[in-house]
């Protein structure tokens, strides 16, 4: 797995790490049972503090995407969609879509982007079904 982060970005490094790992799970690069690099090793690879990696891993744990264990390290786990996640996700998607509309993107372009992003994760989406996710 190759993670790309921008050390000069305004987005915190821990958030970038978390986002790239979530994308790798969605793309099928990381599957249930996949192990993530040790925090100290990943921190050394990027030249960052290992607490930054710990923070990213802890977010993933809180969100039910990985299990942390002293013996096995960070491991991707199977997840089920629950009601609190649906509500939170819908609110985040609404904000991202609002940004697109506020910036003047036409609805058909937003929907096309949604389909393209979902397709990149190997999902199938009927043509007439709208999605609620956009990629910047």
Long-range pairs, 102-110, Cβ under 8 A, ≥24: 110/134
Residues 62 and 41 both lie in one domain: yes
Average pLDDT score over the chain: 88
The reply to whether 57 and 27 lie within a common domain is yes
- Is 89 found in the same domain as 38? no
Among residues 76, 95, 125, which one ends one of the domains? 76
| Whether 97 contacts 111, CB under 8 Å | no
Across the range 17-27, mean pLDDT stands at: 95
- Inter-residue long-range contacts of 3-9, CB under 8 Å, 24+ positions, other chains counted: 3/42, 5/46, 7/46, 7/48
Range of the domain at 109: 83-114
Q: Which is more confident, 84 or 36?
A: 36
Instruction: Evaluate if residue 60 carries a pLDDT over 80.
Output: yes
Main-chain phi, psi angles of 76, to 5 degrees: -70, 135
Prediction pTM value? 0.79
pLDDT digits (tens, 9 = 90+) for 76-129: 998 878 778 888 889 999 999 999 999 999 999 999 999 999 999 886 545 544
Q: How would you class 74 by CB atoms within 10 Å of its CB: exposed for 0-12, middle for 13-18, buried for 19 or more?
A: buried
> Looking at the 3D structure of the chain, how many domains does it have?
2
Which whole number is the average pLDDT over 17-36? 95
* pLDDT at residue number 134: 35
């Amino acid at each position: 797995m190759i993670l790309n982060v921008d050390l000069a970005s305004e987005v915190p490094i821990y958030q970038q790490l978390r986002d790239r790992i979530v994308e790798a799970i969605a793309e099928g690069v990381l599957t249930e049972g996949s192990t993530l690099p040790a925090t100290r090793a990943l921190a050394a690879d990027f030249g960052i503090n290992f607490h930054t990696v710990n923070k990213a891993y802890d977010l993933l744990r809180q969100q039910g995407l990985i299990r942390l264990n002293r013996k096995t390290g960070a491991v991707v786990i199977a997840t089920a969609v629950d009601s609190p996640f649906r509500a939170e996700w819908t609110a985040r998607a609404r904000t991202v879509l609002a940004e697109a509309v506020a910036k003047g993107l036409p609805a058909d372009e937003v929907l096309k982007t949604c389909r393209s992003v979902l397709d990149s994760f190997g999902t199938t989406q009927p043509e007439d079904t709208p999605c609620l996710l956009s990629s910047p």
